[in-house]
Structure 1
Amino acid sequence: MRLVDLPRTTSFQLALRFLLLFGAASLILFGFLYWQTAVYVRGRVDDWLTREQSVFGPMERDNLLRRLTAHVVADPTLERPFTLFDGSGQRVAGTTLDLPVGMLAAMPQDVAMAFDLARGGQDIKFRGILHRRPAGELLLIARSMEGQRKFAAVLIDAFVWGALFTTLLGLIGAAIVGADSVRRIDAVTRAIRRIVGGDLSERLPTHDRADDLDRLAVVINDMLGELERLMREVKGVCDNIAHDLRTPLTRLLAGLERSRRRNGSTEDYAAAIDEAVQETRGVLNSFAALLRIAEVESGARRTGFLDTDLREVLADVAELYEPAAEQAGVRLRLIADGGAPLVMRGDPSLLFEAVGNLVDNALKFTPRGGCVTLRVVSGTGGIGIEVVDTGPGIPRDEQDAVLRRFYRAEASRQTPGSGLGLALVAAVARLHGMDLAISDARPGCRVTLVRLDASDDGAAVVTQAVALERRLLPTSL
């Protein structure tokens, strides 16, 4: 971290802006308080002058002279000068004042006013009232404002020193905050450089503060997790395609070469062509499934979302697969009748396809005499779909792996299929913001698609399968 980087950090600049805003607000507040204090003090002084003038102004001349003489003795500091002048401006009694020539003539009468007097080589501010008596004499009652001036100077000094101290603390605080931001940004930068270098397992650091950077880092980490998952799938797709499509392509090539070497009949050639067509269709179906998954994962289908009743989706799936279930000797149960519509925003054709894949898998692996159950589930704040079979189930350590493309839990791969059905179901679930949970039905397998917030149009919902079973699903059939 370099000190030259501090002024460019957002935190430092934001702290400076707040410091300037606080300083401006403090200056306005101080100015208002200073003005209100000055007005209040001047008003109190003017009230005192008015009271004193109302007492001394009407006095008899002899009594006034005695009171002025006594006042001079009582006020040797000349803080409150009381002086009587004759009509020409000459002092008659009271405090001795060094007044400029013509000053009395220029003063308004019976009005509080401010004026300066020279004392000790400097001008001292006073406020006073000049009153003309009936005999033509002028009575000046004044009060020094030096105490108020010193108080104002102390108040201004206190404000200046307080402002300097606050500015210093603000700059130190801004530097600390800026340094912390620089450290955190440096840590994020280092993590991003490792990610750019190819380490997709790296994540941006967080500090459990729940501040802006942490919230942004959490979102970016979620994005990186999704990117890592997609990159893993992309890296594995080529190997999976080579592994799973090599066998049908090899059979196709071998059959064609065998037909070419042999001099068979027309029926033999027709049979070889039919076999080649069947193998080609299987390969094309695999590629079509891959393209279908890519289309779903792109999110383009989200624009066609509409209100979809899950009960109707399950009823359509049950109607379609009922003949296949009868042929396989498996009972297909639908538990979705006799209730209010369970509506969520989604693509009905994709939901139909996802549930159809689940039912198709369940019928493949459920032995004769078994049962496949379709039901809608609902609970506080969420709705979903459940497919349960009585087959061999999926081992716990493979429940996540079966969602990958081309993964087959059956090692011998004797059951027809390409290993893309559950991958398509997982893609549809992510598109609709649903949680796909695979659990043990004892016996058999239970697959649930549940969205906790049915009003959201695609927000991801991350929950655990056990929590879903406890909150939304019955404990047994």
Structure 2
Amino acid sequence: MQEQVAQTDKSSRLYLLVDANQHILAGNLLGWPEDLSCGQPAQFSDQSNIVPSKLQAEDSDIRVRALSTRLADGRCLLVGQAMVEEEGFTDHTGYLLSWALGIITLFSLAGGGWMGLAVLRRIDTITHTATQIMAGEFSRRIPDEGKGDEFSDLSARLNQMLDRIDELMAGMRSVTDNIAHDLRSPLTRLRNRLEISLTHERPADEYREVMQQTLDDADQLLALFNTLIAIAQAEAGVRREVFTTVDFSTLLIDLVDFYQLAAEDRGVHLSAQIQPGITRLASQGLLTQIVVNLLENALNHIPAGSKVTVTLTQQEKSITLTIADNGPGIPNPADRLRVLERFVRLDAARSSPGSGLGLALVRAAMHEQGGTVELHDNHPGLKVLLTFPRLKVS
């Protein structure tokens, strides 16, 4: 025991061997710990000054972990370890962790503040742009910083929305201007006719004629407004049309036959190539309105000696209706898109009767039927291509 103590004199290991009466026989502890029974593990502090003085100098409050056991001859052996190095390591580790936590907290606060300022700056940019737009600068757009993050996506979507709103506003201004232009002539005629009738004495027959002309102008205005309402309802999908199984081939043959006489009067050759037996779940009234508008549009805008061909074919998933002529057509692709808008009339058609709503009504009716309308150059002439998805009664 004494040899072991001598070998570990400079360490923090503790030994103690006592007899049955707790008289020290060997070891480097100065006494048996209080309240410790032999054979039990123990953890105690140096309250009784039993730890060697070399360890007491390093720390005023030494903690010891020890094991004790009773030997066969009744003696008790205690082996322990003073927790000096371990406590120093724990204190040093705590000190380092405290500094690390402080540095991490500092960097976190700095990074969070920087990110917060960046977010606020970009929100301020969006707010500033919105304020400019509200002040009347409708061409303003949110600048894209090109970072590819959520704010860039939001800016792109908002700019797309603003572009769409700008297009709708421009369309509304154009429609308003065109309505004012197209209503001015009939309203002016109506007012002048009534004013002349009131300022000059006329026979009863002439008064009746004036009233009849006034009624005709009023009917023209009512038809114009009814067409506008029909277009708006069709585009909004609020019209309540009854869809039934319609024999499209028979309907088209009847309409072509009906317009044969009008075509002959204008010196136009009207022909049809209609695939028989094509049926579709649709509104017969809307289909009739679509074909009538397109046939009248073709007959009104082509010279005598021209040809109009109506073609109806069926594919696996769609039905195609083509009305083509060899008249002057619309050579400019941009104009072929514009004429589908309301009140758009090209210069060449200004002298022809109409209000510029026929093709707009066709497009709205096709939208309601779930189809599409496209205008193509027929080289020469115009080709109107209508595509209907095939719908069947379930």
TM-score between the two structures when normalised by the length of structure 2: 0.76
- 1:339-397 CA distance string (max 9 Å, x none): 9x7x9xx9997687567644543454356432134567788xxx786644224322234
Matches of 1:221 and 1:347, distance apart in 2: 39
1:442 aligns with 379
- Report the 3-state secondary structure (helix = DSSP H, G, I; strand = E; otherwise coil) of the residue aligned with 1:97: coil
- 1:384-439 CA distance string (max 9 Å, x none): 86644224322234234324432211445233321123334555677889776544
- 1:292-326 CA distance string (max 9 Å, x none): 334445x3629x799x89x9596587367334442
Structure 1 316/418 Cα, relative in aligned 2: closer, same or farther at 3 Å? farther
1:301 aligns with 2:234: no
Structure 1 376/165 Cα, relative in aligned 2: closer, same or farther at 3 Å? farther
Matches of 2:369 and 2:30, distance apart in 1: 95
2:346 aligns with 409
Structure 1 148/276 Cα, relative in aligned 2: closer, same or farther at 3 Å? same
Structure 1 187/257 Cα, relative in aligned 2: closer, same or farther at 3 Å? same
Larger Rg: 2
1:58 aligns with none
1:24 aligns with none
1:239 aligns with 177
1:330 aligns with 2:270: yes
1:113 aligns with 2:50: no
Number of residue-to-residue matches in the alignment? 370
Matches of 2:340 and 2:228, distance apart in 1: 13
Structure 1 387/185 Cα, relative in aligned 2: closer, same or farther at 3 Å? farther
- Report the 3-state secondary structure (helix = DSSP H, G, I; strand = E; otherwise coil) of the residue aligned with 1:84: strand
- Alignment equivalent of 1:153, drawn from 85, 91, 104: 91
1:396 aligns with 333
- 1:39-80 CA distance string (max 9 Å, x none): xxxxxxxxxxxxxxxxxxxxxxxxxxxxx1221122122322
Matches of 1:156 and 1:450, distance apart in 2: 78
2:266 aligns with none
What is the alpha-carbon root mean square deviation over aligned residues? Answer: 4.0
Structure 1 356/326 Cα, relative in aligned 2: closer, same or farther at 3 Å? closer
Residues 249 and 278, structure 2, Cα contact 8 Å, conserved in 1: no
- Report the 3-state secondary structure (helix = DSSP H, G, I; strand = E; otherwise coil) of the residue aligned with 2:190: helix
Residues 384 and 448, structure 1, Cα contact 8 Å, conserved in 2: no
Matches of 2:183 and 2:358, distance apart in 1: 16
1:170 aligns with 2:105: no
Matches of 1:336 and 1:218, distance apart in 2: 50
Matches of 1:393 and 1:364, distance apart in 2: 12
2:8 aligns with 75
Matches of 1:439 and 1:351, distance apart in 2: 21
Matches of 2:165 and 2:226, distance apart in 1: 23
Deviation at 1:177, TM superposition (A): 1.9
- 1:112-143 CA distance string (max 9 Å, x none): 43223352242233322111123221100122
TM-score between the two structures when normalised by the length of structure 1: 0.64
Matches of 1:77 and 1:209, distance apart in 2: 65
1:93 aligns with 26
Structure 1 434/323 Cα, relative in aligned 2: closer, same or farther at 3 Å? closer
Matches of 1:188 and 1:451, distance apart in 2: 43
Deviation at 1:245, TM superposition (A): 1.6
1:318 aligns with 2:252: yes
- Report the 3-state secondary structure (helix = DSSP H, G, I; strand = E; otherwise coil) of the residue aligned with 1:301: coil
- Alignment equivalent of 1:365, drawn from 274, 294, 301: 301
Matches of 1:136 and 1:422, distance apart in 2: 117
1:465 aligns with none
- Report the 3-state secondary structure (helix = DSSP H, G, I; strand = E; otherwise coil) of the residue aligned with 2:238: helix
Matches of 1:336 and 1:165, distance apart in 2: 84
1:326 maps to a residue whose letter is Q
Matches of 1:445 and 1:374, distance apart in 2: 17
| Range with bigger deviation, 164-173 or 208-217 | 208-217
1:331 maps to a residue whose letter is S
- 1:211-246 CA distance string (max 9 Å, x none): 333333333333322322232233333432232122
- Alignment equivalent of 1:200, drawn from 127, 132, 138: 138
**Which runs of 5 or more residues in structure 2 are unaligned?**
264-268
Residues 200 and 228, structure 1, Cα contact 8 Å, conserved in 2: yes
Matches of 2:44 and 2:97, distance apart in 1: 28
Structure 1 314/149 Cα, relative in aligned 2: closer, same or farther at 3 Å? farther
2:223 aligns with 285
Residues 301 and 349, structure 2, Cα contact 8 Å, conserved in 1: no
Residues 336 and 376, structure 1, Cα contact 8 Å, conserved in 2: no
Deviation at 1:259, TM superposition (A): 5.5
- Report the 3-state secondary structure (helix = DSSP H, G, I; strand = E; otherwise coil) of the residue aligned with 2:62: strand
Matches of 2:6 and 2:313, distance apart in 1: 109
Deviation at 1:262, TM superposition (A): 6.1
- 1:61-104 CA distance string (max 9 Å, x none): xxxxxxx122112212232222211223332112x2244x751x
Matches of 2:70 and 2:175, distance apart in 1: 110
Matches of 1:187 and 1:221, distance apart in 2: 13
- 1:255-296 CA distance string (max 9 Å, x none): 445556463463x54444333222211111112222333444
Residues 358 and 387, structure 1, Cα contact 8 Å, conserved in 2: no
> Which structure shows the higher helix fraction?
1
Structure 1 205/181 Cα, relative in aligned 2: closer, same or farther at 3 Å? same
- 1:173-206 CA distance string (max 9 Å, x none): 2222222222211221221112111122222233
Residues 377 and 386, structure 1, Cα contact 8 Å, conserved in 2: no
Residues 249 and 312, structure 2, Cα contact 8 Å, conserved in 1: no
